[in-house]
Structure 1
Amino acid sequence: MALPWKLHGDGRSVDSAEIVLPEERLSWPRTIGFGGQHVVAMFGATFLVPILTGFPPSTTLLFSGIGTLLFLLITRNKLPSYLGSSFAFIAPIVAATKVGGIPLALSGIIVVGALLALIGLLVNVVGTRWIDILLPPVVSGAIVALIGFNLASAAKTNFEASPIIAAITLLAVILSAVLFRGLLGRLSIFVGVIVGYVAAVIGGEVDFSAVGDAAWVGLPTFTLPQFDLTQLPVYLGFLPVVLALIAENVGHVKGVGQLTKRNLDGVTGRALFADGLSTVLAGIGGGSATTTYGENIGVMAATRVFSTAAYWVAGMAAILLGLSPKIGAVIYTIPPGVLGGVTTALYGLIGIIGVRIWVENKVDFSKSKNQLTAGVALIMGIANFTLVLGGASFGGIILGTVAAIVVYHLMNAIGRVRGTD
């Protein structure tokens, strides 16, 4: 059976006025090299999620690779993407873990993945217009922003555990973003982790005892999910993540389409379904939920290589990394100070992605409906408002998400009736 990619030019170079399209590839040695770049681009963020949530890193890497290959199959190699760990799940996972441990959190991940897959099937039939109506930019931006800012207290806790190491890590992230161009500049979070980790080793804050006992090759730790219908608030806490994942996937489709000068809207349903199915598989096996990665879009924009062949290489490399318990053990040695420094930047950047949605879509904040939609949602998310009804407790992310949707559509409807919109 012939491979689906045709050779671009001579397979050796890309003219400055050209791009390597998804259905094309360069020579295999070069394709493998570009695949390696995508592994580096996704690695820093992908291993951070399991560290922050207590999930096994090797398991997460394994399902990340499997999810990427599944995504490429379902989208028929039309949409280059790497499915890495989703940061949008961190807050609900932490909340669920406190109540029922990792098995309960995994069941929440499965619920979100299944719902996203169903939405993908719906979009495949009716299109994306209803998403634009339900989640206009002011609403989707507010939801993404509050998810990031809601995690501020977690970053503070780790930062205060080792302020010096955390400050070194944060400074490295900032300097990397400012001083470096191209790939290194886009990997500022990863660079910060490396610098902070080295500083922590020098400072004697890293314990390598578990690394020596870990095998080089072996299966990762698998954990089965556990559903508990009495924990309805826990599952409701996961639901806002679906809206963030929709925004991320739709944004990814439009971003790649803009860079390749193609209309890829017809692939949106398949992308949502693929990401949802990948998340379900990860939840079944004990890995972190997945999403499309902006880090890898940055690599494609810099290299002008959009070949899905490179992503097949990256996916297979992630699977191999996931089959090395020793790599997982090394990742687990990252101390709290390093995590505190890097998450101070990272959670802030997640919040700013929401702000960027407002800027890029020219949201008019002179209008009261936009001001109150964003303002009320952000305050509820940042302060982590909590509503207790009987034995049920609803946190800031779900309350802020509901507020963003209700406030906008209520004020919009009233404005239309009064003719003041």
Structure 2
Amino acid sequence: MNPLSPLRAFENPTAARRCIAVLALVTLAAPTVAAAQTVLDPADERHRGDADGRPGDADEGSLSEAEVIRLARDRAPASVVAGATEALADARARTAGLHPNPSLSWEREAIPTGPGEVEDVVAASIPIDLIRPRAARSLAGSEGEWMRAEASLARTGAVLDAVLAYYDAVLAQARVEVLAQAVADLDEAARVLARREAAGSASGYESTRLAIAGELGRSHLAEARGALTRAQARLAGLLGLAPASVRVAPGLALMPAGAEAALAHSGGAARAAIRHAQASQRLAAEAQERARWSWLPAIELGGGVKRAGGDYGYVVGVSVNLPIFDRGQALRAEAEARVALSSARADALARTIDADLEVALVSFRAARQELERFDARTAGQVEALLAAAKSGYREGERSIVELLDAQRAQTEVVERRLSLLRTAKRAEARLRAAAGELQ
């Protein structure tokens, strides 16, 4: 039913003015009430997702959180760079520590003042160094694993940024929808009030107050549309989409109670970055062990065919690189430093992830606890305040200003609730990222 339709049934001017004032309150309160219903009620089954607390299927043609995560893993700028970094690490691992190439030589020896004999020698030589290439491969593998760890961290950060941008877009879209409806209701109220003024049954004060409320509503709507455009542009940029094509599914849901503890207690064990850091440590230790024998000299074996006049023979030889100046100390020093560096990196990464988990867990629980407490303590009181203001106005004991003051109190309550919800969702996303769900 149109909420304005009862106005047409009033013939008594006093009753009409009272009803118009109550209508102003209802239309002004509509944005906050609609926002509370549209964005999230953790206990509302209509907005619940799967059993793990993730949003359910999105509306057709709109982006769900799962779709945002999938696109961000492939298309986000940091994810693209992460993929190229992993390709570089693979290339270095494949090409590091190659054995030196064999060589082929030809020599001709002639003595013009002698009997005129010419000697030709065709020979091949093969360098043999089994120690240094193996150590070099382990060093390159250690650095490559850390490059993969950094790439994984960058990809996780890109997905987290996309998820946070998605939350902003959902909230911005919900705000636009409720403010647009509020402005439409205020415009309809203004038209009805104009007819009442023409009939002499409405005061100029009520008309002016309603006009101001309408202008405020349109200003807030314009601001909300700008915020939505910015949120869509940011999300589109992260996902490689056209801003005009970005639509997000309405509704956000907090993870079920207790699920956050399981994520925090995981210690980030599922993080690919942790596994790569540990692999970097292992390969560094392997390089250090192999470099211990780098003082052993390299050997070069050679052999070939020799022709002198019409006779043929052979040549063989062996050469040894004398370890006088270079005794492999550079390789050993690098391997030792790599062990220390990889250990420090792995320890720093583990500590950072643990800290991220703890901070996100504390933030999430604090926001959720305060949200629940705030709802329990304010929801009934705000309703009672509004009911008392409405009743008093109907009886002529309260003014429209008191009604609007009650509405502002409700608006502040809803905005505070949405602020706590936003904090909880952002902390939840960071907790999931630290635990390895967004990599």
Q: Which of the pair is proportionally richer in strand?
A: 2
Asked if TM exceeds 0.5, the reply is no
TM-score by length of structure 2 reads 0.21
Higher Cα Rg, which structure = 2
**Which has the higher relative contact order, 1 or 2, with Cα contacts under 8 A spaced 6 or more apart?**
1
